[in-house]
Chains A and B, each alone.
Chain A
Amino acid sequence: MLHPPSSAAAELWAQRPVVLTFFSSWCTTCASSQAALSELARSYRDRVVFVGVAGADQADEVQDYLRAHRVEYPVVLDDQQTIWRSYAVREPPAVVLVAKGGALLRGWPGGLDASTLDQRLRELVLADQP
């Protein structure tokens, strides 16, 4: 299944798989899993692109959240929740995995812990890479 990608998104997944993490600064579940997710993103820095998508939120509170949880990957403030709706995200957290080239591989409403995501990344997008 292919999305109708924006040019920026298409550039993102042209070369590498993409993990979209949907979150809000007030989301307690997001906060409790964010440190491990940030660390996982650092460990995959050259192989998988992580992008955060903040919705139902305020820019200054998102900034505070990013600093508090050492989020170093790019984050989009989805003011109108356009991206959230595109991926049928109703509530944070949620994680979506997009293959290199743009195929939607899997979504996890409710999110998932970093170790499980790590395992899924190895199974779904890295197993056939040299």
Chain B
Amino acid sequence: MRRSIMTLLPLLLAGATGCGTVGAAQEAVDPTTVRVLVRDINIRAAGVDCAGTGPYQHFHNRAPFRVLDPDGAALASGQLPAGTAVAAFAEDLGVERLPTYCEFAVGVRVPQRTSYRLEVDGRPALDLTPDSSEGPALVAVVPS
């Protein structure tokens, strides 16, 4: 019984983050955060929920995503949450609505690999770059 629970634990933890770990049940997985900064420079109030605009419209709440290994195998999958609007420029423009980017952050659990890529809604995958400045994260910036 204890063994069954231990086998299920990674799956339960993955479920708690809203994401699934794909095809990596026998490997150790580490929690990390996938962050995507969509630099669409759309006019919004900073801090509001957002989605990508223009050519980045497929970045939005509930959009399906997969984290891929260098061979294209899926390591984790899930749905993006809503993005958060962040000011594109440091200057105080003195207005409520200002040029912003849309930033997404979603927790995943993935096994160790030399590199990772992110596929959103079946579109061409983006390179993810490790970044530990705010905790373990894999980061993509579009356009790069």
A residues in contact (CB < 8 Å) with B: 24, 26-29, 56, 90-92, 109-110
- Range of interface residues on B (Cβ < 8 Å): 10 to 19
B residues in contact (CB < 8 Å) with A: 42-45, 48-51, 53-54, 57, 60-63, 82, 97
A91–B42 CA distance with the chains assembled, in angstroms? 9
B61 touches A90 (CB 8 A): no
Given contacts A90-B53, A91-B53, A110-B97, contact A26 B45 (CB under 8 A): no
Given contacts A91-B51, A92-B51, A110-B48, contact A27 B42 (CB under 8 A): no
Contacts of B97 in A (CB 8 A): 109-110
A78–B88 CA distance with the chains assembled, in angstroms? 30
Contacts of B42 in A (CB 8 A): 90-91
A24 touches B48 (CB 8 A): no
A27 touches B61 (CB 8 A): yes
- B43: contacting residue among A28, A92, A109, CB under 8 A: A109
A110–B53 CA distance with the chains assembled, in angstroms? 13
Minimum C-beta distance from B93 to chain A (A): 16
Minimum C-beta distance from A35 to chain B (A): 17
A78–B60 CA distance with the chains assembled, in angstroms? 17
A28 touches B45 (CB 8 A): no
A29 touches B60 (CB 8 A): no
Residue of A nearest to B51 (CB): A91
Query: Which 6 pairs, one residue from A and one from B, show the smallest C-beta to C-beta distance?
Result: A90-B53, A26-B62, A26-B61, A28-B82, A28-B49, A91-B53
Contacts of A29 in B (CB 8 A): 48-49
